[in-house]
Amino acid sequence: MSVITIERKVLEKNDQVAAGNRRMFAERGIFVLNLVSSPGSGKTSILEKTFEDLRDAMKMAVIEGDVQTDLDAQRVSRYGVPVVQIVTLGGCHLEANLVRDALEKLDLTGVELLFIENVGNLVCPSGYDLGEAMKVVVLSTTEGDDKPLKYPAMIRNSSVLLINKIDLIPYVPCDLDTLRNNALKINPGLKIFEISCVTGEGISAWCDWLKKKETPAR
Ligand code: MG
Ligand code: ZN
């Protein structure tokens, strides 16, 4: 029981800091997306494609969360987007205080859209509010079509599902209808985009939607 109590206190404290982050984002008019997925599903590649598509349309910034290395920050910095890397040194999710501290190192002047790339993990990032407008969960076709059923909290707490690597559909045992239906069973309000960072399919639909800065009802 004591473990449960400590966990609840940690989450309560996190929610308070997240509320502060959210107020700051609202004051500055910054639309913030918390990008969550398992490792290797393509979060950083999606960011690269998004920056290519949107960099003339709006000013963006990114907070990269990783257990180790600043490799992802190096990748996105090539697009001229302000970036700060959080290295969690083993921590398996981002918390609101880490984001608050990272924001102090980020030049947010004129930034309209901020991406927070969470640590690759489909479990605990679902429980940690960072102050974002919404969570965007990425599932790639190589992970199979059963993942929404196995990680329901992440699907329930997300507003958007990006199904990535659709170019691999002919080669992997993943049925797109099954994947979509499994996700919608858990969260009927989920907005779904099917994309490929290799062929570019679906990227412009995703980016056109981002420009509207809508938060789907949950
Ligand atoms: Mg990454
Ligand atoms: Zn964790």
| 157-192 per-position pLDDT tens digit | 999 999 999 999 999 999 999 999 999 999 999 999
Q: What is the pLDDT of residue 217?
A: 67
Q: What is the dihedral of CA 163, 154, 190, 96, to 10 degrees?
A: -110
Distance 16 CA to ligand 1 centre (A): 27
Q: Distance from the CA of 46 to the center of ligand 1, in angstroms?
A: 9
Q: How far is the CA of 197 from the centre of ligand 2 (A)?
A: 27
Query: Cα separation of 25 and 27, whole Å?
Result: 6
pLDDT in tens, 43-101: 999 999 999 999 999 999 999 999 999 999 999 999 999 999 999 999 999 999 999 99
Residues 56 and 168 sit within 8 Å (Cβ to Cβ): no
Gap between the Cα atoms of 96 and 100, Å rounded: 6
Angle, helices 2-28/96-103, rounded to nearest 10 degrees:
30
C-alpha to C-alpha distances, 209 to 54, 164, 193, 202, nearest whole angstrom = 11, 16, 10, 11
Q: How remote is the CA of residue 99 from the centroid of ligand 2, in Å?
A: 15
Q: Which two tokens stand for residue 178?
A: 């099954």
- Nearest ligand atom owner, CA of 83: 1
Q: What percent of the chain has pLDDT over 70?
A: 97
Domain covering 2-212 in this structure, CATH number: 3.40.50.300
Residue 7 Cα to ligand 2 middle (Å) = 12
Nearest bound ligand to the CA of residue 7:
2
Q: What is the pTM of this model?
A: 0.95
Q: What is the DSSP letter of 126?
A: G
Q: Which ligand is nearest to the CA of 95?
A: 2
According to the model, what pLDDT value does residue 7 have? 79
What Å distances lie between residue 28 and 23, 31, 111, 153, CA to CA?
Answer: 9, 9, 9, 30
Ligand nearest to the CA of 69: 1
Question: What's the chain's Rg over C-alpha atoms?
Answer: 17
